[in-house]
Amino acid sequence: MTGDRVMTGILLPESFLQSQFFLVLATFVAINTIAYVVLSIVKILPRVYVSDWFTGPNRRAESRSIYPDAGGSAAADSKAPSADEPGSPG
Amino acid sequence: MRRGGFRRTVGLVIAGGAIGGALLLWFAIAVNDPASLARPTEGLLIGVWTVFYNTEAPPLRTILASVAVALLLATTVAALEHRVYSRSRRSTDEQARPLAAKLVMERTRGVFAGPITLTVLIPAHNEASLITSTLRALLAQSRKPDRVIVVADNCTDRTAALALECGVEVIESVGNTKKKAGALNQVLAAMLLAQGDNDLVMVMDADTALDDGFLETALTRFTDDRALMAVGGLFYGEEGSGLLGQFQRNEYFRYARYMKRRRGKVFVLTGTASIFRPQALRAVAEHRGTTIPGEPGAVYDTEALTEDNEITIALKSLGALMISPAQCTVVTEVMPTIGDLWRQRLRWQRGALENIGAYGMTPATFRYWAQQLGLGYGVIALGAFVLLTVLMLVSVDTWVWFPFWLGIGAIFVLEKVVTVWKGGWRARLLAVLLVPELVYDMFLNVVHVKGNFDITFGRRAAWGHAHEPKHAWRAES
């Protein structure tokens, strides 16, 4: 069955749906909606940090502890999330 | 530094950028002559109900272009933010970014400034109803503060007496007319002179309860990283205030989730609870009036409506390293009425615009400009969606289903639910309904437009609810 019946509309004639303004508006909303849904999918999926896959220069070169003799291992080997990760200051 | 490069025009710049982007898209569509809409098809559902449906979906190239633009924009913003962040951390410009990690490390290499100590400042203006519970939560922390000072600012109630009963110090502000920022500046001016690099200063609101483990986590971070200049709290909404409270709690859950996904990279050092290294606050005071805006010698900018957002941008501008660890959580008040929420959000929006207007377009403010542009475009996008829906509804006499768009809607619902999952069944229930949160978003959009309008036409901003949380923030759209 096809929808050949005449639609009168409540306030506007059904022909309004074929007007240039409405078609541009519909496409504008469609593009925006798809763009926002992409961002929604990004928010649902786990966030990936490419830097996690690599080691080496992104590790700290020295300990940043307040204790000067703390040695370099603790901070340098830590992969706990940190504000300045990845990277050393220089 | 000249204050207010964009002070009045910031609203126009944001609105112009958002409207310009939308018009560009609109004309690009118009010249490509969009195809006419197909008529709906009539069908039977479960052999009983007659339904009209329209299987039309946008052309594949339109879908692909939208996907590409969305991913490109998101990736570009993230990449630029990362680049700004990395360059700031590695900066060797002692004058412009004295708090850059590389410089701090060089200055402090081999120097031991003593063990970590913590002084907590609690600015309070007539907070008798909440100060005791705030202090109890603070003093019950697994790592107790070494010193607690309630800064009683023009109190006419028992705030100071109740604080003394809890065994903490009280300092009364003297002739202060600059509200919280002014009261803090008075105390900090005297205190910072005596603080060593590891004698940390925490500023927290009198109506905020720290979750257990906040101080222990934060202080461990400061111990492990002497280049770390500030730790900010993640806030959750308190229980209560019905549906309106739930809207705000959902917002806060999403923001906390977003911050965790950013691995704590600070957006705003919340005024509800943030800890600073003294050298960071001293650097801000020293550089005001030169490389950053504000009154020379003042830690907090007393002109800012949202002083926590302002000091975050100040610290970022000076190259400071900051973090909001996932374990540093606080519970803060939600606005109980629409009127209070309106005033609070208008102040946040106005404050955010004033801050980026005062700093102008710099690497440190790039992310904030991008956020405001995103919010501005969101107003147009949601408005266009509502307009389309209304026009559609008044132009047909029969309800028509669009399976493609129903599928898209389902993804939105999924995202809304997933992002508040940890908020419990009430948060999920509100999210799954979708429409109420869309209406709430529209409310926030109206606030956004009003904030831009007010700043453009120089309207005086209101300070709002006496107990409103002092963190200036708005969720990512």
Task: Output the pLDDT for position B299.
Answer: 95
pLDDT digits (tens, 9 = 90+) for B441-477: 999 999 999 999 998 887 765 544 444 544 444 444 3
* 3-state SS, residue B236: strand
Closest Cβ–Cβ partner in A4, A74, A85 for B263: A85
Q: Give the SS3 label for residue B416.
A: helix
pLDDT tens across B313-323, in order? 999 999 999 99
Global pTM reads 0.87
Query: Is A61 at the interface with chain B, CB within 8 A?
Result: no
Note the residue count of chain B: 477
Per-residue confidence band for A7, with pLDDT thresholds at 50, 70 and 90: low
Distance of CA A15 to the CA centre of its chain: 39
Residues of B in contact with A40 (CB under 8 A): 411-412, 414-415
> With contacts defined as CB-CB under 8 Å, which chain A residues touch B111?
68
Which amino acid does the sequence have at B298? A
With a CB cutoff of 8 Å and minimum separation 6, the contacts of A69 are none
Give the pLDDT mean for B257-266: 91
Nearest of A78, A51, A49, A50 to residue A62 by alpha carbon:
A78
What does the pLDDT read at residue A2? 42
Contact B36 A23 (CB under 8 A): yes
- Alpha helix (H) ranges present in A5-89? 20-44, 73-77
Shortest distance between the Cα of A77 and any Cα of chain B, in A, equals: 12
What is the model's pLDDT at position B45? 67
The H or E element that residue A81 is part of is none
Banded pLDDT at B59 (limits 50, 70, 90):
confident
Per-residue pLDDT for A80 more than 80? Answer: no
- What are the chain A neighbours of B264 within 8 Å (beta carbons)? 81-83
> What's the mean per-residue pLDDT of chain B?
89
Tokens of B217: 């986590």
- DSSP letters for B171-196: EE-SS--SHHHHHHHHHHHHHGGG--
What is the ipTM, given to two decimal places?
Answer: 0.86
CB–CB contact B70 A34 (8 Å) = yes
CB proximity B396 to A under 8 Å: yes
Token pair 């008529």: residue: B39
Q: Which of residues 47-76 of B touch A (CB under 8 A)?
A: 52, 58, 62-63, 65-67, 69-71, 74
Residue pLDDT, tens place only, B422-448 = 999 999 999 999 999 999 999 999 999
Cross-strand bridge partners of residue B169: B149
pLDDT score for B42 = 75
CB atoms A66 and B222 under 8 Å = yes
Rounded Cα–Cα distance for residues B451 and B352 (Å): 10
Ramachandran assignment for B213, one of left (phi > 0), alpha (psi -120 to 50 degrees), beta (any other): left
Residues 13-32 in A contacting B (C-alpha not used; CB under 8 Å): 13-14, 16-18, 20, 22-32
pLDDT tops 90 at residue A14: no
Q: Which of B349, B362, B300, B341 is nearest to B451 (CA)?
A: B349
A chain contacts of residue B197, beta-carbon cutoff 8 Å: 66
- Min Cα distance B388 → chain A (Å) is 7
Q: What pLDDT, on the 0 to 100 scale, is given for residue A63?
A: 83
List the B400-401 sheet strands across, edge first. Answer: B41-45, B49-53, B400-401
Residues of chain B contacting residue A28, judged by C-beta atoms under 8 Å apart: 22, 25-26, 29, 384
- Predicted local distance difference test score (pLDDT) of residue B58: 83
Say if residue B363 is preceded by a cis peptide, omega within 30 of 0.
no
